[in-house]
Amino acid sequence: MQLGRSRLTEQEHRRRGQMRLCYYCGPSGHLIHRCPERPSSAQVALIDSGAAVNLIDGALVEELGIPTIPCVPSLRIMAIDSQPFGGGLSHASDRTVGVPVGPVSS
């Protein structure tokens, strides 16, 4: 079983691909995107496609490795009730971040 973030050798990666084995745990019968051994990294998010800005928790930005640049000065963020929201916006990203969307219910 492949544990953590250690990488397969090039030879092992090629072998698993040729034999249609799971790149994560090794056995046949499923591929990595359906691996029962692979920890889930799914996140729940509310997407407002009409919003002027998009905000994301700083801890999640760090966990996902999204590059940021400092906001100088920091921007003050207000909640819907006009109360200050968190510590304000201190960093921003100038990159587009893809968000794969699963089943959508209406």
Residue pLDDT, tens place only, 1-13: 434 557 889 999 9
Point out which residues pair with 89 in neighbouring strands.
75
> Would you say 19 and 28 are in contact if contact means Cβ atoms under 8 Å apart?
yes
Question: Domain limits of the chain?
Answer: 1-42, 58-92
Is the full-model pTM beyond 0.85? no
Say how many CA atoms lie within 13 Å of 89 toward its Cβ.
15
Q: What is the pLDDT of residues 52-75, one digit of tens each?
A: 877 788 778 887 778 888 888 877
Structure tokens at 1: 């079983």
> Could you tell me how far CA 104 lies from the centroid of its own chain?
18
